[in-house]
Chain A
Amino acid sequence: MAKTKKEKIEKPYRKKLIRRRKPNRSITGDLALYIFLALVAMVMVFPIVYAVNAALKPLDELFMFPPKIFAQRPTLDNFADLFVTMGKSWVPFSRYVFNTVFITVAGTMGTLLFGSMAAFVLAKYDFPGGAGFFKLVTVAMMFNGMVTAIPNYLIINKLGWIDTYWAIVIPAFASPIGLFLMKQFMEGLPTSLIEAAKIDGAGEWRIFLQIVMPNVKPAWMTVIIFSVQALWNNRASTFIYSEERKTLVYALQQIQSGGIARTGQGAAVLVVVMVVPILTFVLAESQILETMASSGLKD
């Protein structure tokens, strides 16, 4: 009696397991795939693991021969040293943090507001010039900051923004990738939703703020993350030269270039610089992927 009961439980379970397997897949193929992916993942992650370990090594281990990949006696000395060095510079450490936070927050807010306003009309209204403008934006995605840096410098110089925060913050407002992702995501929003609101007498601003924006949360989370990553890594060395307006990453990398004596601190800098973008990505991964699902370029 008990035996048959067990079978009864087991059988449908097994059946389900088989049915759940995707079609067109062989078990050997899957196995080979797992092994291959694990190997590649190890290669990909190795430099990062190494960098983290280097930051945890005490000084004598950093110069040990033959070198070891993993820290034998991990300490946080390098981070402490880094903090001391930063504290001794003639601009207080907190000022660098403030600079970075200010640039990141202001730039991200602007990107979000300007980008989503433009994305809203580009996605949901048909007006002359709209499609052409969007095409221009997709071409502009290819121009990275390095290439337009020189004419940008001349323009910012004319505006008198050299050595101010605005030199970094304002150009960030028009980030093409932000607009692009927003627009593509908003296209997935049902037009009937907007039309219904229009019939109920809502103005364009109300539609934008109360109907469109709450419904594209994954998109603006993604824009925020990308924008934070870009601004965090932006050293802006060409536009800003006063010590008191430099960003945290710039200041940290100055320490890093301090030669052999700063090897330990340099390793710590590497970790501090990369921790923020990776962490933000991990926290928002599912929302970013949801947004990227609509990132396709249609012709």
Chain B
Amino acid sequence: MKGYFSKYLTLRKHNLSVAMIKAKKSKMCYLFLAPYAIVFFLFYILPVLSSIYYSFTYYNILESPRFIGLQNYISLLLEDDIFLIGLKNTLMIAVITGPLGYIASFLFAWLINELPRWIRSVAVVIFYAPTIAGNCFVIFTVFFRGDAYGYVNALLMDWGIIDQPKLWLIDPRYMLPICMLVILWLSLGQGFLSFVAGLQGIDRSQIEAGCMDGIKNRWQELWYITLPGMRPMLMFGAVMSITQAFNVCEVTMALCGYPSTDYAARTVVTHLFDYGYSRFEMGYASAIATILFLMMIICNTLIQKLLRRVGT
């Protein structure tokens, strides 16, 4: 055992010295990386680290942070009912719109790929436009207005499905489904672009070879040839989908108000906003952020593992 340990140590030492020599030789690499790395560390790594640190403290900006251990997490998970509502909503939105949006991104990219070139580039613009159209999604408040002026209400009343206008964005029963609808409308983002581009790069001769080998229709072609060739893009798209699915807040805030009726449209991020910017309980808000980071990283690891099996 001892011999094993010392062997391990010498190996480690050796590896380290090799790395040091390599590092000395590639000084120029570090010089090129430095400007980006400094800014990246300052505004992407440090916030996450300080977020973890502050999550163990009571901090309200005015007083210096006071260490309180796990108290923030305990109150979050055991005492804060509204956080649990937010957590439930975020998970619901993530579980429903995440996979659906992801599949839709791929499906439409795949279908668009069948179109002739000119129509294809127009179609890409049409499908991608909602994501980049700024806050255009507020137009949905007009469609789902609570009185008879709202299009949805008017239409449903015309058809005789309902006899009085529904308060779509005020009634807790309808809020989440409507938000999900809008989020789905917004879900063809950068992952979608990546899919479109990746599909154009699939080797045509491979498809023809597959045809010789007895692939009969487009579905078989999709599973045996297209999907395995697209794996890297699928992974990239997954990262983008997770980001979107877990960080929902703008849509719910714009559609259902902030705070919403009975907190029915509260998400983890709006809760974080509430504590961070309205109550200035930075320690508590940091604990929320840390939980969100953890959820996203776990989810990402799981999905990447799953995607490695595609097409096998």
Give chain A's interface residues, CB within 8 Å of chain B. Answer: 22-26, 29-30, 33-34, 36-37, 40-41, 44-45, 47-48, 50-51, 54, 65-67, 113-115, 117-118, 120-122, 125, 127-130, 133, 136-144, 146-152, 154-155, 170-171, 173-174, 176-177, 179, 204, 208, 226, 229, 232-233, 238, 249, 253, 270, 273-274, 277-278, 281-282, 285-286, 288-293, 295-299
Q: Are B108 and A40 in contact (CB under 8 A)?
A: yes
| B43 with A277: CB separation less than 8 A | no
Partner of A47, one of B139, B194, B269, B308: B139
Q: How large is the interface on B (under 10, 10 to 19, 20 to 34, 35 or more residues)?
A: 35 or more
In the bound complex, residues from chain B placing their C-beta under 8 Å from that of A144 are 243, 247
Name the residue among A149, A150, A253, A291 with the largest chain B CB count within 10 angstroms: A150
Interface string of B132-169 (1 = CB under 8 A from A): 11111111101100000101001000000000000000
Task: Tell me if A115 and B197 are in contact (CB < 8 A).
Answer: no
Residue pairs across A and B with Cβ atoms less than 8 A apart, 28 shown, are A23-B207, A24-B207, A25-B114, A26-B217, A33-B111, A34-B115, A41-B126, A48-B133, A118-B36, A121-B28, A121-B29, A129-B23, A138-B239, A142-B297, A146-B247, A147-B247, A147-B269, A148-B47, A148-B289, A154-B61, A204-B28, A270-B136, A278-B125, A286-B121, A289-B196, A292-B198, A297-B236, A297-B304
Pairs A-B, 9 closest by C-beta atoms: A296-B232, A151-B47, A118-B36, A292-B197, A297-B235, A293-B197, A273-B134, A127-B26, A274-B133
Main secondary structure of the interface of A (DSSP, over half): helix
Asked whether A121 lies within 8 Å of B32 as measured between CB atoms, the reply is yes
Assembled-state Cα–Cα distance A148/B232 (Å): 27
Residues of A within 8 A of B273 (CB): 146
Query: B: which residues have CB within 8 A of A?
Result: 19-20, 22-23, 26, 28-30, 32-33, 35-37, 39-40, 42-48, 50-51, 54, 61, 108, 111-112, 114-115, 121, 123-130, 132-140, 142-143, 149, 151, 154, 185, 188, 190, 193-194, 196-198, 200-201, 207-208, 210-211, 215-218, 220-221, 230-233, 235-236, 239-240, 242-243, 246-247, 249-250, 269, 272-273, 276-277, 282, 285-286, 289, 292-293, 296-297, 300, 304, 308
